Structure 1
Amino acid sequence: MKKVIRNGLLLIVTLTASITLAGCGQQRTSQSTRVTVTFWHGMTGHNKTVLQGLVQDFNRSQSTYRVVANGQGTFSNLQQKIMTAAKSKTLPTIAQTSYTNVPNYVKGGLIAPFNTDLSAKELAGIQPAFLKAGQYQGKQYALPFSKSVRIMYYNQRLLKQLNLKVPTTWKAVQHVGQVAQQHGLTGLALDRAYLGELNDLAHAAGQPLVTTNLKVNAAAPQTVDAVQPLAHMLKTGTAKTAGADNYGNVRFLKGRTVLYCGSSAALGLIQASAPKNFQWGTTQTPSYQGQRANCVAGNDLVRFKTGTKAQRQGGAAFIKYLLQNRQTIRWATQTGYLPVTTAAATTASYQRYLKKHPKFKAAASELKTSYTDPAFLGYSQYLTALQTTADDLAVKHVAAATTLNKLQQTTETIIKTNQN
């Protein structure tokens, strides 16, 4: 009898093991039949962790595709690796990049548009400024992901100490700078590449540095006048740009600077780095002559032509997943980037988040006055020329009219050379 029981138990164990192994074999087969979608990005630190969580959740949400995310370090490194991979024909399925790279990608025959992958309704649900940025030659080549705007950070303790209010205009910012300087403080901190502020002032004056029709307005009298307040602050030392650290938040967090104009993407970093007793807040960027303009920055997602049709479909499926409310809100609330769809921005959950975290309200408010630079061949050369203008004003204290006239001539040459 005992022998029969032992044989019966042995049979049960054997059958159980066989079933288990069979199940494992089926799981491996299921995983191996998934279409692999490679995704290159430039996220690091906390943002990389959040992104990896989104990737894992997408992979669990369906059984057709498997996204493999690979961080490439800085965005500069990412762009270099994309161009190297283009030459060796080893590009990923999708990648994070600036929409201003789209013209070069299209010229090289590297990327495919998304028009047939997203319905008109889905495209219309994306924030207008973000959607427009990814359009080139009538097609939607890029879709938004990590988008940001410029905001102004302020030191509450210093404003109170100097008996000043949070400034809302550039004239008021100049006044803050003058009062701060009298007390041995810095009025305004800027990034080394404070190109957004120069661009916004020109836009507020009704003279975009480069229009959508590629007309250059850098030397227009209205542009020169608009840049004067900032140029004067840089010349007098009431405003200072960052040095080797590149970003003005480093100076701001030392507690001797009243204001800092920078990216909303720095919110998370400042929140994590600020000393416990550091009292600070955020507001919209200052207006000029009653007008406010805010250039959209950040990165988008593009899909390369490499790989199989199934891989390209998988890339589109993953991006559509990221555009859904739940993922968009999760990304925005955990990183400080903006919701990329109008539906997500107006959801009760995101509004509750803003109420609980008021420092993030300024960035959301800036969407009403946001705009995007036109993407064109030679844009990277134009940015280099614009940085030269910024350095002329901040370091060499060249007259605004002189350096903007040089920018006008250089940019016109860049556009003419690249568009022919």
Structure 2
Amino acid sequence: MKNQKRVIYHLIIVLTVAFLSLLPASLLGNKQASATDNSKRIKIVFWHEMTGPAQTQLNEFVKQFNKSQSKYQVVSQFEGTYEEAVQKILNTHGSNTSPAVFQSADISVSQLYHSGYITKVQKFIDKDKSFNVNDISSVARAFYSQKGELLGMPFNTSQPVLYYNASLLKKYNITPPPMNPSYSDITRVAKQLYQRSNKKVKGMTMEVYGWLFDQLIANSGNYSVNNQNGRLATPTKASFINSGSLKAMEWIQENVKSGDFINYGSGTNASANEMAAFLSGKLGIFMESSADIGQLTLGMKNQKLGVTYYPHADGQKANGVAIGGAALWISNDKSSEVQQGAWNFIKYLESAKNQATWQKATGYLALNKNSKKTKTLKNLYKKNPALKVPSEQLAKTVPNNSNSGIFVEGIVQERIILNTALDQIYNGSNIKSSLTQAEEAMNSYIKNNNRANGWRY
């Protein structure tokens, strides 16, 4: 009896399997169909460094791209910090574990260019008539270009801006700074706030951060290294001492002596402390990345946030500032078919719709010029006009070699060196002496790096 039941049971299983095999895949359930489809797709491994809301939105983009077509399957992997990720990229190149497409920061542009490990996205742009590269911000493109060719596609992008507590200024009857302020415009507001609050509110600060210093130089039309920031030829010397840097540091020291400037130092703690002071109403003005707008907006629910362009020296027009953030790069150690899939994914992320969604979700700037026409950004700017300011600054900037970033290996070292000089200057040391020491330290690094690579030094 038991054997008979067993035979009947197995017969039912066989008949069921046979019946299911005759059904179309669409009726078998999403999981089985998806598994079958994915096995036939070309795998595109994507390495990134996004966390929090940016990681969530990026994973959603990956999911949507995979659903939008049936040829490629993008697999996203988080790889740590920018510094950690670029080392993994360089160390795994040529192996089975390397990515097809990866995200890498502004500090690594020259390093990746000279590595020989990338396929320039310009190669795909030239062949793809469906993609108009002119829709992408010219300033962002200039940053990731060399010799007229786009190396990586700009993606998560920010710019330095100036933040002020508009509610505090109103409380003390202070006229806000103009949208494109000069140093004296900011000094006026900072001094008035400090004095009218009976010195309870510090007027301003600027973190000890080499990136912010370089941006002051860019906005003055000068260069941080020679050969026009390395855009004409390999840099051989730093040029921290110039009219732009001297005016900027004199401006900082003027405010330090007046007492309205507070120095929070450098690093993560400095950034956190200045943010906390600003949100608590103990600080009126600070300069930082536009990527902080989201956090500031959430933290100032009962106060009004003011945002302006990055300040410039009196008596001259602003030259414009460079971008920060990262780009998307294509590895050249993969087949042409895989590289094409990587390009298709990049192109998908750069659409007007997706760039608008990206800005709303993360605070990074939408790089597609047509994004401003979307309901997403129109509604976002209507709800919070301050969010529009960084985008307007980016759109109004005309790219040149001063504001297109520093094309030199060793940006991390440059910022460490500058942090030391800035800390000295903030504490009253001689500006030229401190910047001379910084130049000498950077020149030594550049010389050793150029020699190691067999370049002119």
Task: Give yes or no for TM over 0.5.
Answer: yes
Aligned to 1:380: 412
Pairing 1:250–2:253 present = no
Q: Please give the alpha-carbon distance, in whole angstroms, between the structure 2 residues aligned to 1:343 and 1:398.
A: 48
Alpha-carbon distance, 1:159 to partner = 0.8
Q: Please give the alpha-carbon distance, in whole angstroms, between the structure 1 residues aligned to 2:258 and 2:96.
A: 52
Deviations 1:150-196 (A, max 9, x none): 11221122112222122232112223332333322111133342x34
Question: Percent same amino acid at aligned positions?
Answer: 25
Q: 2:121·2:152 contact (CA, 8 Å) conserved in 1?
A: yes
Pairing 1:302–2:333 present = no
Aligned to 2:20: 17
Q: Please give the alpha-carbon distance, in whole angstroms, between the structure 2 residues aligned to 1:79 and 1:132.
A: 21
Q: 2:161·2:307 contact (CA, 8 Å) conserved in 1?
A: yes
Q: 1:189·1:249 contact (CA, 8 Å) conserved in 2?
A: no
Deviations 1:184-219 (A, max 9, x none): 2111133342x3432233234332223234474422
What does 1:9-408 correspond to in 2, within 5 Å?
Answer: 17-20=20-23, 24=28, 27-86=34-93, 90-119=97-126, 122-167=132-177, 168-182=181-195, 183=198, 184-193=200-209, 195-210=210-225, 211=228, 212-213=231-232, 214=235, 216-234=238-256, 237-243=259-265, 244-247=268-271, 248-272=274-298, 274-289=299-314, 290-292=316-318, 293-345=320-372, 347=374, 350-367=377-394, 368-369=396-397, 371-394=403-426, 396-408=427-439
When residues 221 and 364 of structure 1 are mapped into structure 2, their CA distance, relative to the original with a 3 A threshold, is closer
Q: Please give the alpha-carbon distance, in whole angstroms, between the structure 2 residues aligned to 1:231 and 1:37.
A: 52
Alpha-carbon distance, 1:360 to partner = 0.7
Q: Please give the alpha-carbon distance, in whole angstroms, between the structure 2 residues aligned to 1:345 and 1:143.
A: 19
Q: Please give the alpha-carbon distance, in whole angstroms, between the structure 1 residues aligned to 2:423 and 2:95.
A: 37
Alpha-carbon distance, 1:98 to partner = 1.8
Alpha-carbon distance, 1:249 to partner = 2.1
Give the secondary structure class of the aligned counterpart of 1:67.
Answer: strand
Q: 2:353·2:374 contact (CA, 8 Å) conserved in 1?
A: no
Q: Please give the alpha-carbon distance, in whole angstroms, between the structure 2 residues aligned to 1:260 and 1:399.
A: 24
How many pairs are equivalent? 409
Moved more, 282-291 or 249-258: 282-291
Give the secondary structure class of the aligned counterpart of 1:245.
Answer: helix
When residues 176 and 275 of structure 1 are mapped into structure 2, their CA distance, relative to the original with a 3 A threshold, is closer
Alpha-carbon distance, 1:12 to partner = 11
Whichever residue aligns with residue 374 of structure 1, its letter is I
When residues 279 and 150 of structure 1 are mapped into structure 2, their CA distance, relative to the original with a 3 A threshold, is same
Q: Please give the alpha-carbon distance, in whole angstroms, between the structure 2 residues aligned to 1:280 and 1:271.
A: 7
Aligned to 2:8: none
When residues 393 and 32 of structure 1 are mapped into structure 2, their CA distance, relative to the original with a 3 A threshold, is same
Q: 1:345·1:351 contact (CA, 8 Å) conserved in 2?
A: yes
Alpha-carbon distance, 1:138 to partner = 4.4
When residues 342 and 22 of structure 1 are mapped into structure 2, their CA distance, relative to the original with a 3 A threshold, is closer
When residues 221 and 347 of structure 1 are mapped into structure 2, their CA distance, relative to the original with a 3 A threshold, is same
Moved more, 155-164 or 348-357: 348-357
Q: Please give the alpha-carbon distance, in whole angstroms, between the structure 2 residues aligned to 1:231 and 1:382.
A: 22
Alpha-carbon distance, 1:282 to partner = 1.8
When residues 13 and 287 of structure 1 are mapped into structure 2, their CA distance, relative to the original with a 3 A threshold, is same
Deviations 1:293-328 (A, max 9, x none): 322111111111233332222111100111111111
Q: Please give the alpha-carbon distance, in whole angstroms, between the structure 2 residues aligned to 1:233 and 1:99.
A: 31
Give the secondary structure class of the aligned counterpart of 1:66.
Answer: strand
Give the secondary structure class of the aligned counterpart of 1:117.
Answer: helix
Give the secondary structure class of the aligned counterpart of 2:185.
Answer: helix
When residues 191 and 85 of structure 1 are mapped into structure 2, their CA distance, relative to the original with a 3 A threshold, is farther
Aligned to 1:5: none
**CA root-mean-square deviation:** 2.9
Q: Please give the alpha-carbon distance, in whole angstroms, between the structure 2 residues aligned to 1:315 and 1:60.
A: 15
Alpha-carbon distance, 1:145 to partner = 0.4
Give the secondary structure class of the aligned counterpart of 1:116.
Answer: helix
Give the secondary structure class of the aligned counterpart of 2:123.
Answer: coil
Deviations 1:265-294 (A, max 9, x none): 01112223x153233222222232242232
Q: Which runs of 5+ in 2 are unaligned?
A: 1-12
Whichever residue aligns with residue 61 of structure 1, its letter is S
Aligned to 1:3: none
Q: 2:100·2:330 contact (CA, 8 Å) conserved in 1?
A: yes
Moved more, 228-237 or 26-35: 228-237
Q: Please give the alpha-carbon distance, in whole angstroms, between the structure 1 residues aligned to 2:250 and 2:443.
A: 22
Aligned to 1:4: none
Whichever residue aligns with residue 191 of structure 2, its letter is Q
Q: Please give the alpha-carbon distance, in whole angstroms, between the structure 1 residues aligned to 2:338 and 2:408.
A: 28
Q: Which runs of 5+ in 1 are unaligned?
A: 1-9
Whichever residue aligns with residue 430 of structure 2, its letter is A
Whichever residue aligns with residue 362 of structure 1, its letter is V
